[in-house]
Chain A
Amino acid sequence: MEEVKVIEIKKSVFAENEKDADDLRTELKKRGVYLLNLMSSPGSGKTTTLIRTINLLKDKLRIAVMEADIDSNVDAVKIREATGIPSIQLHTGGMCHLDAEMTRQGLSNLDLEDVDLVILENVGNLVCPAEFDTGSCRNAMILSVPEGDDKPLKYPLMFSVCDVVVVNKTDVMPYFDFDLDKCREYVRMRNPKARVIPICAKTGEGVEVFADWLFREVRNWKNQ
């Protein structure tokens, strides 16, 4: 019988990525660039929310967007046309998430000297993106009303890594059994520090609250 030698490794498969992510954050801090990682399910209204938010902030901050999708460039084109800001599309080549290395490659396609805020629109998915640190300064996620108020219970990791939970499509709340107070409670169970911001991206209601939060974040990041 063939002899076997065992080599002990004892290493988390996420360890390498976590180190890459920390390095990237340190570099961004030095260059005064704030990176927001925005996550959600497909169809939650990420792109519409971004367009509204960018239009509120683009006179105060220099903004760029990186759109991550498995395929196509429809989102990058939509953002560029609606806001006039630089927007690039990243293809994950079938992967369900972005990691720090892929984020770094994406950033290398932007002129960071002319940018204060980069928004990374992660792949629409509530599982994998939560698992991989992109090197962002903060994580935000959008939960839309039709998805249900119990999502924080079903996808605990996603809600525990987010600093802000934007609840979108509040205009259709009467048509769904969505209880905003319950939703807040479920988010708090997973992450007591997360802030919940209800908005309606379609009408613009509440978007200024999210934009103000983001503006203050970027200013603090640059000044600290």
Chain B
Amino acid sequence: MHELGIVFYIIRDVKQAAADNHVDHVSAVVMNIGEVSTVVPEYLTDCWRWAADKEDLLRGCELKVCTIPAVSFCDDCRKEYETVRFGRNCPFCQGENTYLLRGNEVEIKEIEVPECPL
């Protein structure tokens, strides 16, 4: 359900990008999806297939997912660590003053469009 809503936003933005670039078919959309973005890539691609095939611009268009590993930063000891493995508490000093540096992206990285060879 959640992923379907996101797919509608992706379609809206890809349509805009296609119009800006005078493109009439898109063969692939590449997404950056953070590890802690709460988006499940498998659900996203399933929803994408269902919704994208209803659009002339996106029929058969593949959704590729690049996973961005989540990294947190500890303000107490100024070190970075893997968020998924250690959570909120810093594994080096056990401090709680930590925040996410990256890993919550839901971002359209790029689109691929077929180009006729000259």
Q: Is the interface of B mostly helix, strand, loop or mixed?
A: mixed
Given contacts A127-B2, A128-B2, A189-B88, contact A9 B13 (CB under 8 A): yes
A211 at the A/B interface (Cβ < 8 Å)? no
Q: A7-B113, A95-B5, A131-B38 are in contact. List 13 more A-B contacts (CB 8 A).
A: A3-B117, A4-B113, A5-B113, A6-B110, A8-B110, A9-B14, A12-B106, A12-B107, A13-B6, A13-B10, A96-B2, A127-B2, A128-B1
A-B contact count (CB 8 A): 81
Residue ranges of A at the interface with B (Cβ–Cβ < 8 Å): 2-14, 16-17, 94-97, 127-128, 131-132, 157, 189
Bound form: Cα–Cα A6–B38 in Å:
27
Residue ranges of B at the interface with A (Cβ–Cβ < 8 Å): 1-2, 4-6, 8-10, 12-14, 17, 21, 23, 27-28, 38, 88, 96, 105-117
Q: Is the interface of A mostly helix, strand, loop or mixed?
A: mixed
Beta-carbon contact of A11 and B13 below 8 Å: yes
Beta-carbon contact of B17 and A9 below 8 Å: yes
Bound form: Cα–Cα A9–B117 in Å:
23
Beta-carbon contact of B115 and A7 below 8 Å: no
Given contacts A127-B2, A189-B88, contact A7 B96 (CB under 8 A): no
Beta-carbon contact of A97 and B108 below 8 Å: no
Residues of chain B lying within 8 A (CB to CB) of residue A6: 110-112
